[in-house]
Amino acid sequence: MTRIDDTFVRLKAEGKKAFVAYLMAGDPDVARSLAVMKGLPAAGVDVIELGLPFTDPMADGPTIQLAGQRALDGHMTLGKTLQMVRDFRAGDATTPIVLMGYYNPIYSRGVDRFLAEACEAGIDGLIIVDLPPEEDEELCIPAQKAGLNFIRLATPTTDDKRLPKVLQNTSGFVYYVSITGITGAAAAQATDVGPEVARIKRSTDLPVIVGFGISTPEAARDVARVADGSVVGSAIVKEIASGKPVSEILAFVATLAAGAHSA
């Protein structure tokens, strides 16, 4: 049982849906990024997705691309991202952290070294968007053996023939991408998402969390009603980019969390 597993067991017992928040590590700098991250649990965030900056983020829209570029311009690295997690863990031993990003930085560091450091730092799961199930031996299976959840993305184009392969070695939760395309590109519609979530849940006992295209408390609520929770990324990243005080950013996050939890 990881922190992710424990969190979903608790939420189910409480009759609540999950709220997952994404932020880019080191955007616009480590101090501000860490200050936001430390405030997320008190704002109602159940799981933190921490973006790993990368030069070629193919699944991300302009908002998250720019966040990654700001972080890279500030000399953010995988090593500094892991240190951010350690600094967070110094004050929070329970909130799950999922590292979300691309395989290249991990490959460059070396899988064995990365997994040892990730576990030591306090990461609970990985979402690596450019590693398909056909490459599970590369990172997914070693990560699971190391005690990390490996969370897979399902999309509107994941048909019934493909779905079993996607679910094969997935753990923690399934991340359903509500729209075709990149992050922040369109609004998620609960009426479209509901049948797809139900279809996935017929094939797995894992929670199904929905992300992409959710930017308001109402959308977080509506999507959480038809899933096990909702994810907000681009809308939070925009707040960070605006230069607003951390307290205002966290107040915005709290409204999103309240929306999801009211489902």
Torsion of CA 46, 220, 238, 88, to 10 degrees: 0
Which of 5, 49, 136, 228 is catalytic? The answer is 49
Residue 60 annotated among the catalytic residues of the structure: yes
Joined together, the tokens standing for residue 166 give 């996607």
Closest among 251, 149, 153, 167 to 211, alpha carbons compared: 153
184: left (phi over 0), alpha (psi -120 to 50) or beta: left
Task: Report yes or no: 148 and 2 within 8 Å, Cβ to Cβ.
Answer: yes
Which of 46, 60, 124, 136 is catalytic? The answer is 60
Task: Report yes or no: 139 and 128 within 8 Å, Cβ to Cβ.
Answer: yes
Q: Which sequence positions are flagged as catalytic?
A: 49, 60
